[in-house]
Structure 1
Amino acid sequence: LFDVQPLPYQFPLMVTQAIPFFSYTVDKSPGNGSFYNFGGQNVIFPANRLRVSFIPHPKRTYVGQWNLNIQQQITPSIAGMVAYVGSRGVHQPFRIDDGNMVVPSLTSAGYVFPFNSDGSPFDPINPHFGSVRTMLYEGQSYYHALETQLAKRMSHGFQVQGTFTWSKSIDTSSASVAGDSFGNSLSSLPWYDLKADRGPSDFNVGRTLVVNGVWDVPTPKSMSAPGQWALGGWELGIIFTASDGVPFTPTWGTGSDPSNSNSGDDWAFPSRLTGSGCRSLTDPGNRTNYVKTQCFQVPTAPSLAFWNANCNPAPPSLVDSSGNQIVINNPQNPGLDGAGWLPALPCFNLRGNSGRNVVVGPGVASLDFSVFKNNYIPSISEKFNIQFRAEMFNIINHPNFAPPTTPDNTDIFDGTGAPTGVAGLLSKTTTTGIMPSRPTILIKDTSVPGSPSSVDSEVANRARRRIGRRLLPFLFLLYVVAFLDRMNVGAAALQMPHDLGFSERIVGLGAGVFFLGYFLLGIPGALIVEQWSARRWIARILISWGIVTVFMAFIHTAHQFYLVRFLVGAAEAGFLPGVIIYLTHWFRYQDRAKAVAFFYAANPLSYVIGSPLAGLLLGLSWLGLRGWRWLFIIEGIPAVVLGIITIWYLTDWPEQAGWLPKDEKRWIITELEREKQTKNSRHSFKIWEAFRHRDVLLLIGCYFCAMTGSYGIAFWLPTILKRLSGQSDLKVTLLAALPYIAAFVAQQLNGWHSDLTRERRWHAAAPLFICGFALALAVAYRASLPASIGLFIIAGGAFYGQFRWLLWADDCWLFGDAYAFVQRGFVVSRGEFISLRYVHAISRQANYCRRDMSSDQK
């Protein structure tokens, strides 16, 4: 709700007569046969003397606006919106061509202007002045609209958006002066009854449909380089528009100034009939008679007595040679005595009832087409582009007509009351058939300083920083909690086997059963993340695994241990690939390794935080519960709390991010779509082909080998250090955190260097070699506590600098966007499941510290 102060332009237009701001005409000498000049004015000064009046203390002008919209993401690429928009204007400016006029009288049949049979003039309100132009602040306006939108964002090279608006705008006047943008209504509206002027706005368009689409034509994959250049880079676009026309006012061509308003406007309005066939006033297929003239008549007196008391004599042209009045026969209005086809009683100084803007003009429909050819030249610059562009408008060659010209083709009757014969003629068009634009060639390099990309670069930097600050710390926290819940069984193994009588075999099997649930639901979880909602699925994972982790505190038997560990794995299934998929919705390829590295940093840091925390919790004995039970309770609750927060904090797609400014949102959407189109040009596999593909099996093998070492350290390092050192649980857990501090540093350095060089494979492979070598040496030097700790630090640092997050950062690097999420879920779940079975089998055959250690001898 806001004030609208009187604008300066409203006042100069009242006094300036320079075209195009204002034009002024006076007609005081009607020709023979024209409308009878019944209301001449007595004036002291010449009739065309211009005077201006203003309201010294206008009423408060204000406008209220309101809207309500509902948006829904229907699928990952399709979104819909329904909105209501309204506004209300009060005390709007209302300009009057002449406020100093002979005022009509309001009767039961409408307004009647006075007349003297002898033609003697009447005095206006102030006979000392001629025309007095006036500005009042009594205008009213209303607007209501229902807007709907359905948009499919760019996917598979195609995007489309459709918008439909159903609206109505009503006011008491739309134009402030003659010559405004919309000249389809009267510029000299009567001011004495604003209710009579209330009608559709001059600019009102009831229904509007706009559909636009863009298709990036795919490049043939089997052609040579010249063929790909010739047939690649094409982009086709269409815009279809269809809408109702703007309204206009049917007029009565009096050819005079019956209201003494010193205006050349024809006198509105004729009377509208409501008989058969007149519900609609137009014939849309008729260009010569668009308006149904049979639905209008000259204003008619309701009775003979009314006609005798109020109506003017007939104009000279309606008197025959003998001086007898000629009246007009009207089949739709028989004589007042009801005797069939008797003459009606036309009353030429009675204002008709048809009103303002009662007829809707012809609608508009057009289809525009554009074609672009992009030719990127990477050798010059990454974004150097020579673009060919051609656009054609109204390619269906549909003629769109403007409303009938005022007053030539809006006059239903002439000054004698006879039909003009040209009422409703559509003589002007708003389009002239197909209009091709001149083909253009643009040379752009958006990476050059000073070019438009400098602005884009600012937007890009802001968007990257804002997205990173918004998402990465929160996802980092989720992963910390995830690994605390996953790996706390390793710390609990310092007390739990003794309390429950579990052997190392039972503990190892229970740790591995986690990955059975993880494997079974890993791929479905990844599918749900991509097809439904990453935000909701991640929240579900957090809440469910937090609750199940708390259940671990209440187990008593091995079978309960196996069941709860299975449920923890099933609850967490899909979290890791789901978050990686989620990051591809927000980060470009160039930024993805750093983003994933930041996220993966939670893995080693969860051990850095979790190991000392576990050591402290193991020392608790509240309410008769041992420390390992409190470990599961206290570390399970944060997952539930964060799951609830996730529902409202995360956003599935950039299009839905209310926290992202429009320019930044547009930039990231464009970048990700461009990246997706590049990937779509690669060969992709069907889902079952992907499972059998050599590279997928190779990745499973790599992941199996890596995770075997990783989970061996995670599950058994506290036990190994306990046996080697004999220290307390707290000191042991502090020592167990050292490899993960090194892991965090190595991970960040390797991710930074990988993004810097744009190389992934060697940055993934080299740490694996180092990790395997360090683990082998750790076996050889297993009796030395310092050597074991040093080698485990090297192994841990190398492992967390390795391939998992580097290859995940390269989105769809093998199988294309359609099945990348399945690939991730399959590799992760299968690799981890096999690795844990292997670790379990080894733990049954040998013990790292079995060699002549006193604890083992016992």
Structure 2
Amino acid sequence: MPSHNPTGASRRPATDRSRTLASTTTTEFESATYAKVTWRLLPFLFICYVAAYLDRVNVGFAKLQMLSDLKFSESVYGLGAGIFFIGYFVFEVPSNILLHRVGARVWISRIMVTWALVSAASLFVKTPAMFYTMRFLLGVAEAGFFPGIVLYLTYWYPSVRRGRMNALFMIGIPVAGVLGGPLSGGIMQAFNGVRGLSNWQWLFLIEALPSLVLGIVTLFVLPNGIRAASWLDERQKQLLEDNIARDEHAGAEASLRSIVSNGRVWRLAAIYFCCMMGLYGVSFYLPTLIKAAGVKEALDVGMLTAVPYAVAIVSMILVARSSDRRNERRWHLAMAAVAAAAGFYASTLHAGNLALVLFTLSLGTAGVLSMMPVFWTYPSSVLTGTAAAAGIAMINSIGNLAGFVSPSIIGWMKDVTHSTNAGLMVVAGALFVGAVLALTQRAPSVTTPAAQPSRA
């Protein structure tokens, strides 16, 4: 009768326990590594984006006084607000390719210092032609910043993590609204006439200073990539590089010509255009809409504009986490677009009711901003390397042409109809089209690493 072998019986569970322990150790190491990268990079990039977005849209607050001081019409304002994106469009692809070639540290620093100087110089505007010129130059100066950061994050994070990382970075938009609203309103109320300058002139000058300082600091704190990060050890660098290499194997390197002829890239650009119609409609006109609901004081307008952006912060995080957890992009993107369209349309039905205006604009703003981190998981899953640099910039620059179209349409329609309602309905329609286009997209490929990612 064969004897029982206790050694053999106990060996298998020991082996299983060893494998489990090794897997747990690997997961913990990976989680700790990505947490370290996130805490080193994201807070600084986030602060830079807050400063960038504040300089881009503070003209919406300047408008409250600048139009009467300079005798500008709503159409002049709308065209000037939007012409920023013509300069942005022309120079964005070259800027992103240069960032990929010369390194993020120097190029992002150059972008920030240049736009700070141009933004501050906007205080000298006297005529519509000067206004158009300064807004165009600001677009040229800032071209490449946002897509450059989106590209930069692909150097560090695989696709399975990018939804959350994009959200953490892009929360800079609503945070700029939460902080910038009260700040801009306070500057407008406190600095009018100080040293012979109007409040809108002080607004441009004061809010340019953070970008200037951050641009200089960038040279000292931002590594060009994984190998340049002195705060990572060799094992951590290898882990990050292996995960990125696995991701890039699933993507596609391509020439600039093939990108331009890629139908999927154009569809993504169209979806992003619809998203930006909503974003810049609210960014350039939210103070006007709040004031039209019966709020008179600049500081009160600024405080209330923070409400929709505060709601959007929560929404962005929840939607991005849900999208990453389920590895699902299409429906998250489409439903956010539908919510945005519904919110902006509903706001036209209650223009005189402040509470309902805030509620509907909060829904619209949250929907638009929740689209962004989910959307930007698509391009980096389709393209890699130089193709990603050019493709991301192309999608962003075409999409941001909506920043020219949206305020121009709203401004022109306000001059014609004496109301922003018609313009907001156009914006709502564009967002609904974006939802339909999102549902026609193939789901992006997501390469899941061997270890389950943390929520860092």
Q: TM-score range by the shorter chain?
A: 0.7 to 0.9
SS in 1 for 2:156: coil
Give distance in 2, aligned partners of 1:523 and 1:456.
39
Give the equivalent residue in structure 2 for 1:582.
152
Name the structure 2 match of 1:807.
375
Aligned to 1:652: 224
- Mark the CA change 1:459 to 1:771 in structure 2 (over 3 Å): closer, same or farther: same
Where 2:251 maps in the other structure, the secondary structure is: helix
Aligned to 2:344: 775
Letter in 2 for 1:667: L
Task: State the Cα distance separating 1:706 from its structure 2 match.
Answer: 1.8
Q: 1:643-676, CA deviations, whole angstroms, 9 ceiling, x for partnerless residues? A: 1110110101111111112221221122212222
Distance 1:652 1:571, change over 3 A: same
2:387 aligned with 1:829, yes or no? no
Distance across 2 between alignment mates of 1:447 and 1:561? 68
Q: How many residues align?
A: 405
The alignment status of 1:795 with 2:367, answered yes or no, reads no
Q: Please, which of 210, 219, 239 is the counterpart of residue 638 of structure 1? A: 210
Structure 2 counterpart of 1:449, which letter? T
For 2:83, the aligned partner's letter is: V
Q: Is the 8 A contact 1:723 1:849 kept in 2?
A: no
2:177 to 576, 583, 607: 607
1:301 alignment counterpart: none
Q: For the residues of structure 1 that align with 2:200 and 2:341, how far apart are their CA atoms? A: 32
Give the 3 Å change call, closer, same or farther, for CA 491–553 of structure 1 in structure 2: same
- CA-to-aligned-CA distance 1:510-555 (integer Å, 9 cap, x gap): 1111001100001111111112211111100000000111101122
Task: From 93, 100, 109, give the equivalent of 1:530.
Answer: 100
Normalised TM-score (structure 1): 0.45
Query: Are positions 1:509 and 2:79 aligned together?
Result: yes
Report how far residue 792 of structure 1 moved: 0.4
Structure with higher strand content: 1
Matched, 1:784 2:353: yes
SS at match of 2:293: helix
Q: 1:433-452 counterparts in 2 under 5 A?
A: 448-451=19-22
Map Cα deviations across residues 232-285 of structure 1 (whole Å, 9 max, x no partner): xxxxxxxxxxxxxxxxxxxxxxxxxxxxxxxxxxxxxxxxxxxxxxxxxxxxxx
- Alpha-carbon distance in structure 2 between the residues aligned to 1:448 and 1:601: 39
Once the two structures are TM-superposed, the CA of residue 810 in structure 1 deviates from its matched residue by 4.3
Q: Tell me, in whole angstroms, the C-alpha distance in 2 between the residues paired with 1:695 and 1:499.
A: 46
Q: Is the 8 A contact 2:92 2:397 kept in 1?
A: yes
State the Cα distance separating 1:817 from its structure 2 match.
3.7
SS of the residue 1:800 aligns to: helix
- SS of 1:652 mapped into structure 2: coil
Give, in whole Å, the separation in 2 of the partners of 1:473 and 1:445: 40
Q: Which residue of 2 aligns with 1:468?
A: 38
| Residue in 2 that maps onto 1:697 | 266
The partner residue of 2:162 within 592, 616, 625 is 592
Summarize the Cα distance change of 1:848–1:667 in structure 2 as closer, same or farther, 3 Å threshold. Answer: farther
Question: Following TM superposition, by how much is the alpha carbon of 1:711 offset from its aligned partner in structure 2, in angstroms?
Answer: 1.0
Partner of 1:712: 281
Asked if 1 retains the 8 angstrom alpha-carbon contact of 2:186 and 2:302, the reply is no
Q: What pairs up with 1:292-691 in 2 under 5 angstroms?
A: 448-451=19-22, 453-619=23-189, 620=191, 621-680=193-252, 685-691=254-260
Distance 1:748 1:730 in 2: 28
- Measured at CA, do residues 655 and 815 of structure 1 come closer, stay the same or move farther in structure 2, by a change above 3 Å? closer
More moved, 804-813 vs 717-726: 804-813
Deviation at 1:816, TM superposition (A): 4.1
Alignment check: 8 A CA contact 1:495 1:628 kept:
yes
For 1:851 and 1:583, the matched residues in 2 are separated by 41
Q: Which amino acid aligns with 2:351?
A: R
Preserved contact between residue 86 and residue 136 of structure 2 (Cα < 8 Å): yes
Counterpart amino acid of residue 742 in structure 1: V
Whichever of the two has the greater Rg, that structure is 1
Partners of 1:751 and 1:724 in 2: CA distance: 32
How far apart are residue 445 of structure 1 and its match? 10
Query: Is contact 2:294-2:352 (8 Å) kept?
Result: no
Read off the aligned partner of 2:20 and give its amino acid letter. Answer: P
| TM-aligned CA deviation for residue 783 of structure 1 | 3.3
Deviation at 1:838, TM superposition (A): 4.2
Aligned residue identity for 1:675: D
Determine whether 1:754 maps to 2:326.
no
Partner residue in 1 for 2:290: 721
Deviation (angstroms), 1:851: 6.3
In the aligned structure 1, how far is the partner of 2:41 from the partner of 2:200?
A: 33
Code of the residue aligned with 2:90 in structure 1: it is L
Gaps of at least 5 residues in structure 2 are 1-14, 421-456
Is the contact made by 1:584 and 1:811 (CA closer than 8 Å) also made in structure 2?
no
Q: The residue matched to 1:801 in structure 2 has which SS?
A: helix
Q: Which secondary structure does the structure 1 equivalent of 2:370 belong to?
A: coil
Structure 1 residues 455 and 726: CA distance shift in structure 2, 3 A = closer
**Rounded Cα–Cα distance in structure 2 between residues aligned with 1:598 and 1:446:** 37
Letter in 1 for 2:21: G
| Post-superposition offset of 1:755 | 1.3
Asked which structure has the greater RCO (Cα within 8 Å, sep 6+), the reply is 2
Using a 3 Å threshold, how does the CA distance of structure 1 residues 815 and 465 change in structure 2: closer, same or farther? Answer: closer
Question: Does structure 2 retain, via aligned residues, the 8 Å contact 1:479–1:603?
Answer: yes
